[in-house]
Structure 1
């Protein structure tokens, strides 16, 4: 008999200690920003920082693929793992980074979620909604606080992200420094170096997205993904060489990723018992949020537990709150969360034909496994 592979443990974030939401406040402590008194992450002291956020760069992924990324691999010895927030997805993680807040405070609760006031399912990446992003996420951002304090705060990213809903909700406050084409690496490096040398103190946020895109389309076990990693690794090394020594460069990710075999995708429309009592379904394949308006959420949770067993962590909203998945949750955003949370374990996903674009994905993320939750924190 073949021994069964052990299922991964749950990784719960420890907010205000070792998460992505602690990064910018820790930098702010070194830059002398009022209210940011402590460096929670043990960063080098500096008056100038560049934070490179590589979308989809998980701690376990970079360790596994170290041969393809010699520069990043060379930082592993002094590097450490921190965690993303819950869910481990770009919308929530970038808002944690840009605001310095746990998701229970900033309210960007997932890739897709239900808006309590309208009932619409908001995709916060595409933001195809009339919602005003600055109103929906109205808490001041860390970028705003840093800029107001007189620090040269810049964001280097594709031009088309400048006015996006997610940028306005999560990352507003930085001077946007845009570029047209991702492959124009010399231009990106030049713009980042120029931004880093503005003023007497500076913080630059530089965003790289292609690794995540490749992981979704081709899988993070693919040769295509490895080629993207090698390209990004070389670009990071060139950036470090181009930056003056006085600038501290920090490299991190917003989540990890795992590949989901086609046979491990449960389609909810083919499981009518699972949708019983569910008014709306949001989230993503690895982390579903179920909105339950006319039935006891505990009964819905029990049905999902019976069906999925040890393949998922199923919690009612109150249980997830009590376990600290989202940090302290502000009363004003409680209803943005689903009444039931389904966080997949192992390499399975819960899919729906309501979101057909998701059905073609290979690599996924969002749950609380180590592969998805743990991201690197490198300094150079």
Structure 2
């Protein structure tokens, strides 16, 4: 990973220590490689792995609040963190984990992104039944490739996510076990990992929900961090010694106070030349009218100044933010992109009213958002 820019953005560490490297590394550790050559990320050999993804557990947040999570913070202190992809958001990261691909290849390039040829946005969490998940993300998943090698592959997640567009795009090829409560999830992981060889993927989204609602500096978030630490430790204690537990996250989070928020609907010059506003508050995709890209970029740069990096699509791709970008993915990326610095957020009270109710946000490239645990016990 590299640090760069005036606010020391963390560049994604693709093909080394990113979420897309996790499943290929686990496959190699199970003795069932799914890629040619040695894995970029090397993990200890084991008969089975459980990968526990904790939504919103940034590595910097875990370091900062180590007293509330002694089990996980002790592990993190002895192991090197990794990075999310860009943007640092759930749909993008979960798809990188499940496919083993960077965002430019798998095509889920944000919380919302333009459906090419339309003026519609795809909300990647809610999905749209008119968009075929297998067409949007056509590549075989890493989960499916691992299962084809004879590995028992299981996803343990909430019942409501079974068969969702995101699940089908990102995690197809695995057996899906619905489990809504902590005890259910641990029991399901224990049963699934009894096969050999096996990879079980387990997801918990409660910390992320709490951060969005109350902020990562709140008592509520700290108490939820303690609960997730206890869940991870209980999971480790329940698993047999020959099963490795790997704890990862999809992104971190920052709190954005009201005086650090820009509402584009209060500064209508920011709408000039913009046909569609996408992405999310910390990482905006601006889809421009024909011939307006340069003017839009200049206007947004002048307005935001040092509060954000404003890049054209070509500039963002050249920085390597998305990895290699497939031709079909190009029009899903904004003509102009806005990556916020510090705790700035770009809101729209018209298009994204719900975001105004959130305290914690993510999506950009600050260390608090990009750095994630990749820890093995």
TM band (smaller chain): over 0.9
Please report how far the alpha carbon of residue 30 of structure 1 lies from its aligned counterpart in structure 2 after TM superposition.
2.2
Aligned to 2:372: 375
Match of 1:98 in 2: 98
**Within-5 A mapping of 1:1-380:** 8-31=7-30, 32-179=32-179, 181-182=180-181, 185-198=182-195, 200-353=196-349, 354-380=351-377
Deviates more, 1:31-40 or 1:349-358: 31-40
**1:28–1:36 CA distance, 2 compared to 1 (3 A):** farther
Q: TM-score by structure 1 length? A: 0.95
- Find the aligned partners of 1:39 and 1:241 in 2 and give their Cα distance: 28
**Paired residue secondary structure (1:326):** coil
For 1:34 and 1:15, how far apart are their aligned partners in 2?
A: 17
Q: CA deviation at 1:322?
A: 0.8
CA distance, structure 2, for counterparts of residue 164 and residue 10 of structure 1: 33
Q: TM-score, normalised by structure 2?
A: 0.96
The corresponding residue for 1:3 is: none
* Contact 1:289–1:341 (8 Å) recurs in 2: yes
Q: Distance in 1 between matches of 2:119 and 2:146?
A: 35
Q: What CA distance in whole angstroms lies between the structure 2 residues aligned with 1:272 and 1:323? A: 29
Q: Secondary structure at the match of 1:228?
A: helix
Count of residues in Structure 1 that have an aligned counterpart in Structure 2: 371
Q: CA deviation at 1:43?
A: 1.1
Distance 1:30 1:141 in 2: 18
SS at match of 1:367: coil
Q: Distance in 2 between matches of 1:14 and 1:34?
A: 20
1:314-347: per-residue Cα shift (whole Å, max 9, x none)?
1000000111110011111110101000000011
User: Does the 8 Å CA contact 1:29/1:36 hold for their aligned counterparts?
Assistant: no
CA contact (8 A) 2:13 2:82 kept: no
Q: Which stretch has the larger CA shift, 187-196 or 275-284? A: 187-196
Does structure 2 retain, via aligned residues, the 8 Å contact 1:27–1:39?
A: no
| CA offset digits 1:148-207 (Å, max 9, x no partner) | 11100000111111111110111111100112x33xx22221111110112x20000000
Question: Offset of 1:76 from its aligned partner?
Answer: 2.1
Shift of 1:35: 2.2
In the aligned structure 1, how far is the partner of 2:120 from the partner of 2:292?
22
- Cα RMSD, aligned residues only: 1.3
Instruction: Return the alpha-carbon distance in structure 2 between the equivalents of residues 128 and 360 of structure 1.
Output: 23
Q: Helix, strand or coil: the match of 2:217?
A: coil
**Would the aligned equivalents of 1:53 and 1:207 in 2 still touch at CA under 8 Å?**
yes
Q: Structure 2: how far apart are the matches of 1:30 and 1:75?
A: 19
Q: Distance in 2 between matches of 1:96 and 1:15?
A: 10
- How far apart, in 1, do the equivalents of 2:77 and 2:11 lie? 24
CA drift at 1:8? 3.0
